[in-house]
Amino acid sequence: MKVLVCDKTENEYIEQMRAAGLTVDVRDDITPEELPNVLPAYDGMVVRSRTKVKQALIDVCPNLKVIVRGGVGLDTIDHEYAESKGITVMNTPRASSASVAELAIGYMFALARSIYKATSSLKAEKWDKKSFEGDEIGGKTLGVIGFGNIGKEVASRAKALGMNVIAYDPNAQEAVGIKQVSLDELLNEADYISLHLPKTEVTANMISKDQFAKMKNGVRIINCARGGIVDEDALYEALTNGKVAGAALDVFAEEPPTDWRLLKLDNVIGSPHIGAATKEAQTRIGAEVAEKLISFSKNGK
């Protein structure tokens, strides 16, 4: 089986696939313009968030049998269309869960204690101690929207920190040991809201003006899931009118953003979609990609 690796993958696992008999070519700098000319020669491909696999590309690749996404979301792949063409689409849902969860928890601390502002003040050679009175997160209520692998990891860490955790999942997954509530209940009760669900037609802009109106004054929002789940215009309004005290964003509706208004607000901190960007997660992702492709080459699934 011939596999094209289109995005960064740990070399150890590329060699592991080769040792198992796969022909693996690495083009982790391949451009969207080059893909339609190169990919038709391959049976499988490995992608991350950089490479988009849309219908037009799928249509010119009659030999393509499997797409493996190193990561959680499949929103960069027209996966339903691919599957309708007999192409198997897989991801690595557990590999980066701990890393994303730790980033979300870190962001809660950063918002609660104004760490970014305090650091900036010190770098400006100011000793402005009185301006940075914060809050403890222990005893506060965390509302987790989306209770899959990452949501559960966030919840377990938050409970260990003494937070009261409630969860809403549009797919009504079991929330063992966690009170599962309606979305409206979560919005009404949560001091912190952390998003951990895929972007779909159902979840696009699911947190918008009406939802912000139901939240507590002074709520804090963390989004390490997907851009476009939170309506960014509505979030900007809520951050500037006092409804939302602070937001931490690892993901954006457009990446990289072309509208930087949100990130220029003093009560917003962010990062360039680095949730899975840890050494440990990259190793687990590479291992799971290799495992899935080797299994597919042997068993067709």
Distance CA 52, CA 63 (A): 18
DSSP helix/strand/coil, 4: strand
Distance CA 154, CA 278 (A): 16
Which one from 226, 232, 284, 288 is the annotated catalytic residue?
A: 226
Return the residue matching tokens 């993901």: 251
Which one from 185, 237, 255, 291 is the annotated catalytic residue?
A: 255
By CB atoms closer than 10 A (0-12, 13-18, 19+), residue 174 is exposed
Alpha helices in the chain (DSSP H): 11-19, 35-38, 55-59, 79-84, 97-112, 115-123, 149-160, 183-189, 209-214, 232-240, 279-299
The reply to whether 255 belongs to the active site is: yes
Bridge partners for 46 per DSSP = 5, 68
Q: In sequence order, which residues have a C-beta less than 8 Å from that of residue 237 and are 6 or more positions away?
A: 209, 212
The reply to whether 189 belongs to the active site is: no
Which one from 27, 185, 273, 291 is the annotated catalytic residue?
A: 273
Bridge partners for 166 per DSSP = 143, 179
The reply to whether 196 belongs to the active site is: no
Q: By C-alpha distance, which of 108, 105, 61 is closest to 85?
A: 61
**Contact at 8 Å (CB) between 190 and 168?**
no
Q: In sequence order, which residues have a C-beta less than 8 Å from that of residue 61 and are 6 or more positions away?
A: 39, 40, 42
CA angle 292, 13, 227 (to 5 degrees): 70
What is the phi/psi pair of residue 107, to 5°? Answer: -65, -35
Q: Tell me which residues are annotated as active site.
A: 226, 255, 273
